[in-house]
Amino acid sequence: MSSTEKIYEALKKYWGYDAFRPKQEAIVRDILAGRDVCAVMPTGGGKSLCYQLPAALQTGKTAMVVSPLIALMQDQVAQLKEMGIPAAVLNSSQGWSVQRETERRAEQGEFRLLYVSPERLARREMVSWLQNVPISFFVIDEAHCISEWGHEFRPDYRELKLLKKEFPGKTIAAFTASATHRVRHDIIEQLQLKDPGKFIASFHRPNLTYQVFECDGLTQDERLLAILTKHADRPVIVYSPTIKRVGITELKLRQAGIAAVGYHAKMQPADRKENQEKWMTDQVNVLVGTIAFGLGINKPDVRAVVHLALPKSLEQYYQEAGRAGRDEKPSDCVLLWQKQDTALLAYFIGQIEEEAEKARAWQRYRDITGFASSNQCRHKRICAHFGESVKWEKCDACDFCLGISGRTLVRKIDGAGARKRKKKDKALACIPSNAEKSGEKLMEALQRWRRERARQDFVPAFVILHDSVLGRIALAKPRTKADLSRIHGIGEKKLELYAAEILAVVKSK
């Protein structure tokens, strides 16, 4: 079997896909050929598949994945296991016996992927132990964290420069969703990548409508309610600047008859997990959270992301807003900021003692305030920030190009925005909300089944199957296992695990 046949066989077997998304196949081939890689792909662009597929193909070897959050690592491992790809996580929250057993199995080459934190990998004893592991290649996820110019700089990432020194023959693949030209250069330099394959996907997300409005406290509340009313019964993320504001916003929404849950770092882990699960499984459509929420969240049908304050950088805004519309369907990204936001950002920058870091923070401040106050196409401004030149002058997908002002926000959202959305929907595949009534009932039944199965398996619901896959099942109404196998996004392992249960749900409707 040729290498191409093996790659496409794995794509179908594990992911249930027949074709790659842009850049994916080229990245997979470079990694398999032993070439270093630096890839910048927007949220929802399919970064994880780019390294998980080549890892899955290398039997008896392990790809070491450096990831910044324990929860993110655990979700990735749960998804891989559901797909039939052996994977594990190694972190300090595990008991000693679990860690030792994981290390023993890794030494035997039992895992295709092993997830660790940058802090753990930086330890001398960890580096020594890795000499006993049959490593295929290294993956640095959220690689912008290695750069002092990145918006989420973490000093421990800097220690990853030791990888080329300690493992000179091993490939390193670095991935991030948001990195400027300067950050990309810094990633390559810090990791000492040798003649890397550079893959920069377009930063233009045409299905997103960016809208930016300066508000006061009263108009901000009014506009938030208007947006949530427009997107009633659809998943929405509302980003709050503080933990206190999360609680206040959640209460106001409930008083307005809108069910919402909160999410922030000071909540009990069990409460955070419960609220996230309610939102992921559509029991509650609105989640109000701080920046602690979102990294690694793979919910494709988020119809709106609303910011209630200026983020600290344009990269942060792009990354968080980009959690909307990962299914490529029209979605709104609305930034509702107040004058006091600029003063607060300036205050925190003033607390930074290190001069070089303070200078970088002021540059980020100028970028985000310039974006907020700009009278220019939002899409064009974002692309330019990341070094991408676009030819068009008008995007027809932002407040500036659509002629939306603060006063006409609600009317335009329901008028021009709705007409644009209707036009785009015709060109895209139907989604469950547009299906006939029987399809909607089947979709609800499938979601109930998934929710119960997720509880039984102690995994997040999206690990079982994504909403987009359930939507395809609801539309196709498969009657046999063979019918189900033709649904885009169902690999062999998931077919084996869930076919009988899914077909029973379909039959019952």
SS3 letters for 415-455?
A: CHHHHHHHHHHHHCCCCHHHCCHHHHHHHHHHHHHHHHHHH
Q: Which of 86-95, 205-214, 437-446 has the lowest mean pLDDT?
A: 437-446
DSSP code of residue 123: S
Residues 139 and 36: beta-carbon distance below 8 Å: no
Q: Which of 53-62, 324-333, 442-451 has the highest mean pLDDT?
A: 53-62
Residues 6 or more apart whose Cβ sits within 8 Å of residue 370 = none
The dihedral built from the CA positions of residue 147, 152, 155 and 160, taken in this order, carries a sign that is negative
For the segment 466-480, what is each residue's pLDDT rounded down to a tens digit?
Answer: 888 998 999 999 999
Residues 6 or more apart whose Cβ sits within 8 Å of residue 496 = none
For the segment 42-99, what is each residue's pLDDT rounded down to a tens digit?
Answer: 877 789 999 999 999 999 999 999 998 877 788 889 999 999 999 999 987 788 899 9
CA 437 – CA 486 distance, rounded (Å): 23
Share of the chain above pLDDT 70, in %: 93
Averaged pLDDT score across all residues of the chain: 89
The dihedral built from the CA positions of residue 72, 239, 330 and 380, taken in this order, carries a sign that is negative
CA 147 – CA 152 distance, rounded (Å): 8
Q: Which of 158-162, 164-168, 285-289, 404-408 has the lowest mean pLDDT?
A: 404-408
Kindly state the average pLDDT of the residues 471-499.
94
Predicted local confidence at residue 296, as pLDDT: 64
Predicted local confidence at residue 415, as pLDDT: 42
Select the more confidently predicted residue: 270 or 253.
Answer: 253
Q: How confident is the model at residue 405 (pLDDT cuts 50, 70, 90)?
A: low
Predicted local confidence at residue 459, as pLDDT: 81
Q: Is a pLDDT exceeding 70 seen at residue 427? A: no
CA 340 – CA 324 distance, rounded (Å): 26
CATH 1.10.150.80 fits 432-508, yes or no: yes
The two most distant CA atoms of the chain are separated, in Å, by 66
C-alpha to C-alpha distances, 344 to 263, 307, 340, 351, 365, nearest whole angstrom: 22, 15, 6, 11, 11
Query: Helices 378-385 and 314-321: crossing angle, nearest 10°?
Result: 120
Residues 146 and 175: beta-carbon distance below 8 Å: no
Q: Is a pLDDT exceeding 50 seen at residue 422? A: no
Please tell me if the domain spanning 3-200 has the same topology as the one spanning 208-427.
Answer: yes
Instruction: List phi, psi (to 5°) of 263.
Output: -155, 120
- Burial of residue 60 (CB within 10 Å: 0-12, 13-18, 19+) is exposed
Predicted local confidence at residue 498, as pLDDT: 96
Predicted local confidence at residue 155, as pLDDT: 85
Predicted local confidence at residue 438, as pLDDT: 63
Predicted local confidence at residue 20, as pLDDT: 94
What residues does each domain of the chain span?
3-200, 208-427, 432-508
Kindly state the average pLDDT of the residues 419-423.
43
C-alpha to C-alpha distances, 501 to 166, 446, 475, nearest whole angstrom: 49, 10, 17
CA 465 – CA 450 distance, rounded (Å): 8
Give the H/E segment covering residue 289.
strand 286-289
Fold of 208-427: Rossmann fold (3.40.50)
Kindly state the average pLDDT of the residues 109-131.
92
Q: Is a pLDDT exceeding 80 seen at residue 208? A: yes
The model carries a pTM of 0.83
Residues 143 and 174: beta-carbon distance below 8 Å: yes
Kindly state the average pLDDT of the residues 137-158.
89
Predicted local confidence at residue 449, as pLDDT: 94
Q: Is a pLDDT exceeding 60 seen at residue 424? A: no
Tell me the CATH architecture of domain 3-200. Answer: 3-Layer(aba) Sandwich (3.40)
Q: How confident is the model at residue 433 (pLDDT cuts 50, 70, 90)?
A: very low
Q: 455: how many CB neighbours lie within 10 A of its CB?
A: 12
Q: In what order do the strands lie in the sheet with 37-40?
A: 87-89, 113-116, 62-66, 135-140, 171-176, 37-40, 197-200
Kindly state the average pLDDT of the residues 166-186.
93
Residues 6 or more apart whose Cβ sits within 8 Å of residue 502 = 446, 449, 473, 478, 484
- Burial of residue 442 (CB within 10 Å: 0-12, 13-18, 19+) is buried
Q: 109: how many CB neighbours lie within 10 A of its CB?
A: 17
Predicted local confidence at residue 156, as pLDDT: 86
Predicted local confidence at residue 454, as pLDDT: 87
For tokens 């390559």, what's the residue? 188
Cα 274-280-284 angle, rounded to 5 deg: 75
Q: Which of 158-172, 389-403, 421-435 has the lowest mean pLDDT?
A: 421-435
Query: Strand 135-140 to strand 171-176: parallel, antiparallel, or no bridges (unpaired)?
Result: parallel
Q: How confident is the model at residue 269 (pLDDT cuts 50, 70, 90)?
A: confident
